[in-house]
Amino acid sequence: MDVVRVLVLIAIGCAIWAGWQLHSFPGGRRFTFSSEHAGEREHLTAARRKWREAESTSYRRVAAAKAQEHRAQTLHDERIRRAQEELQRVRWPGRGELVEERGAMSLHQHVLLIADEEIPLVRLCIRFEQDRQESHIYATRPDGSVRLTSFLNTAHEEGGVRRFAVRIENAVAAENTFRAQQKALTAQAEKNLKEALADTGARDTARLHLAQATSLHKIDHRRKTARAELDAARKRWQSLTGKLPH
């Protein structure tokens, strides 16, 4: 059975090769297979090969230039995106990232959530107290109003609540610093965005290189010569066989 399979595969391979030869060198079996016209076939094959190589080389130059232009554009867009995000972050910081949750409290980068109430961290005063049954965190707003949150000792270890209170105090200190610098940070972020938008040098250079590569592809002497030689070889074959090959 293995021998039969091998013979079948060989037969299929020969049929495919013969079909391709007939397609590549049309005009009849005499022109396609006979040694009499082997020179003509080799001449046409050489012209095709030269054209493919010239075309491939030229297209590779264009493809490389396109890839370079794409990279430059991507880097330009990415820099603008980062600058826009930074400006958004310092101008309208919102809640910021979640830092820690404990009981009814959720500490974010810029606010403290207590149940459904959102309290800005700026100038917030935090006090921790503890009794036999509960730990307490007092959050005093700049206007003097106070929000009390209690944690049962059975559910929340006193040391953990105390560390959470310290973490809130540190977040308040960071927020106070941020708010004091916000105007300057916003101005710097606006400047960075303006510079990112204006910095088109690498992108423009890549675009120019692509335009030049595309133009050279169209006027490439080697490519044009190879094309002319292929067309001449095809017509020569047509004059011999009456069939114009691809």
Query: What is the distance between the alpha carbons of residues 44 and 243, in angstroms, rounded to a whole number?
Result: 13
Buried b (16+ CB within 10 A) or exposed e, 169-205: bebbeebeebbeeeeebbeebeebbeebeeeeeebee
Contact 190, 14 (CB under 8 A): no
Query: What is the distance between the alpha carbons of residues 50 and 77, in angstroms, rounded to a whole number?
Result: 41
3-state helix, strand, coil in the chain (%, to 5): 65, 15, 15
pTM of the predicted model as reported, rounded to 2 decimal places: 0.67
Query: What is the distance between the alpha carbons of residues 177 and 148, in angstroms, rounded to a whole number?
Result: 25
Query: What is the distance between the alpha carbons of residues 159 and 194, in angstroms, rounded to a whole number?
Result: 48
Q: In this predicted structure, what is the pLDDT of residue 73?
A: 97
Question: Does the structure show a pLDDT above 60 at 18?
Answer: no
**Which carries the bigger pLDDT value, residue 110 or residue 234?**
110
Q: In this predicted structure, what is the pLDDT of residue 7?
A: 61
| Closest listed residue to residue 127, CA positions, set 147, 102, 104, 107 | 147
Question: Does the structure show a pLDDT above 80 at 29?
Answer: no
Q: What is the pLDDT of residues 153-193, one digit of tens each?
A: 999 999 999 999 999 999 999 999 999 999 999 999 999 99
Burial class (CB in 10 A: 0-12, 13-18, 19+), 162: middle
Query: What is the distance between the alpha carbons of residues 106 and 119, in angstroms, rounded to a whole number?
Result: 10
Q: CB 99: neighbour CB atoms within 10 A?
A: 15
Q: Is 202 helix (H, G, I), strand (E, B) or coil?
A: helix
Identify the band that residue 104 occupies on the pLDDT scale cut at 50, 70 and 90. Answer: very high
Question: Does the structure show a pLDDT above 90 at 102?
Answer: yes
Query: What is the distance between the alpha carbons of residues 183 and 110, in angstroms, rounded to a whole number?
Result: 16
Q: What is the pLDDT of residues 136-158, one digit of tens each?
A: 999 999 999 999 999 999 999 99
Q: What are phi and psi of 116, to 5 degrees?
A: -105, 10
Identify the band that residue 246 occupies on the pLDDT scale cut at 50, 70 and 90. Answer: confident
Q: Is 139 helix (H, G, I), strand (E, B) or coil?
A: strand
